[in-house]
Amino acid sequence: MQSIEKLKFLTESQVRTVAQQFGTPVFVYSREKIEKSCETALAFPNAYGLTVRYAMKANPNRTILEIMKRKGIQIDASSEYEARRALFYGFKPEEIMLTSQELAKGMKELVEKGVIFNACSLRQLEAFGKIFPGKEVSVRFNPGLGSGHTKKTDVGGKTSSFGVWHEDIEKIKEIAKKYDLKIFKVHTHIGSGSDPAVWKVVAQVSLDIAAQFPDCRILNLGGGFKVGRMEDEKTTDFQTIGKPVISLFEEFAKKNGTKLKMEIEPGSFLMVNNGAIVTTIDDIVSTGENGYKFVKVDAGMDVNTRPSLYAAKHPLVVVPKEGTHSGKTEDYVFVGHCCESGDLFTQAEGGGPITRTTGEAAIGDYIVMEGAGAYCSSMSVKNYNSFPETAEVLLGLDGSFQLIRKRQNLEQIFQNEVPVSL
């Protein structure tokens, strides 16, 4: 029997308050929990110093980044636009590392400002060398190993295009020599599985790569630390996976004479369970005795696309609009409001509906979708069916709610469309 999920940081009273004050659907984030996650990351075991970079693609809201900046977290930017956004939000250029799949068109300007460039391919390194001969640069390697619950979340190994393939080290050295580049940082990232044993192996492989570059003084081991959204899923324990790696860094220092500083890049870890989506049940329909009972909510893949994209699971908690729970449970298929057959919040891998056991639901009740702090607002298929971008709210340390992103109005959805004479 499925376990009934519970609210992670909101009370039922707060759910009703935020829904009535801001409408639904609405994202809600906990400042207290974000700060605690930052503190846990900053305590990651290390031998010779640590920098924590937030993978801002997880959730780039200005207020959230401000919280992290105040805690001393730096930035991992996945595009030049994220780098510029972080600069606009007040991060110093040297606190931002640009690790982009495409060669940034504004790379020269960003590097001249002080943004750290992390070359993710031979072409990118060559382009950097032509513009900045003699300069320091970071290089991302694909170590040949990966970890992820699906191939779509595995960013290491032969199925991944991320980083320079580890067997091309000599080509990296040739480009570095050609342009007198100093590779001061080696970067690897294996995906979102973060199996401790795999992580330790990759750390050693990464150290072996770093040993081939005498100017290397920093090793960035990426992020992708597994975070359990559902009650039966485990969350990576930083102390468990970090402590064994300390000795690897110490051995490296004895052998190579360099005390490497460590960097990590959590995104999900800092945000996943610190955010939720509050929705309202719009309808409940049935497909007969041998079919399903569908709960339709006023959010969909335009708000959170992860279930449609990955068949990802999010805890779903029924909060009665009034009164208390009946104590009864029922099996439902939860669906979104988009006119799309794949807009299923409870979806089996490979597609198709699957039921979820929750408290008994009624039209007008609230459904809280937990585990929505990362890769939901930032990765949603915004404006599909012309639904407006969802509002976002911060639960403050004093228990009050503050609006940190307005809900779009209709005109804002199509404001960039240009009418032409036909």
**Residues labelled as active-site residues:** 339
- According to DSSP, the β-strands at 182-188 and 218-223 are parallel
Angle at 142 between CA 264 and CA 60, to 5 degrees: 45
Contact 344/333 with Cβ under 8 angstroms? yes
CA 304 to chain centre: 13
Question: Residue 386 has what DSSP assignment?
Answer: G
The answer, yes or no, to whether the previous bond of 25 is cis (omega within 30 of 0) is yes
From residue 209, give the alpha-carbon distance in Å to each of 3, 172, 195, 196. 45, 11, 21, 20
From residue 20, give the alpha-carbon distance in Å to each of 6, 14, 17, 320, 346. 21, 10, 5, 13, 26
Residue 358's SS3 state is strand
What DSSP element (H or E) covers 284? strand 275-286
Residue 64's SS3 state is helix
Within 8 A by CB and 6+ apart from 265, the residues are: 52, 53, 54, 55, 76, 189, 220, 222, 223
CA 381 to chain centre: 16
- For the CA atoms of 67, 69, 72, 75, what is the dihedral angle to 10 degrees? 120
Tell me how far apart the terminal alpha carbons of the chain are, to the nearest angstrom. 60
- According to DSSP, the β-strands at 136-142 and 164-165 are parallel
- The 10 Å CB-count burial string (b at 16+, else e) for 292-329 is bebbbbbbbbbbbbbbbbbbbbbbbbbbbeeeeeeeeb
132/126 Cα distance (integer angstroms): 10
- According to DSSP, the β-strands at 356-359 and 316-319 are unpaired
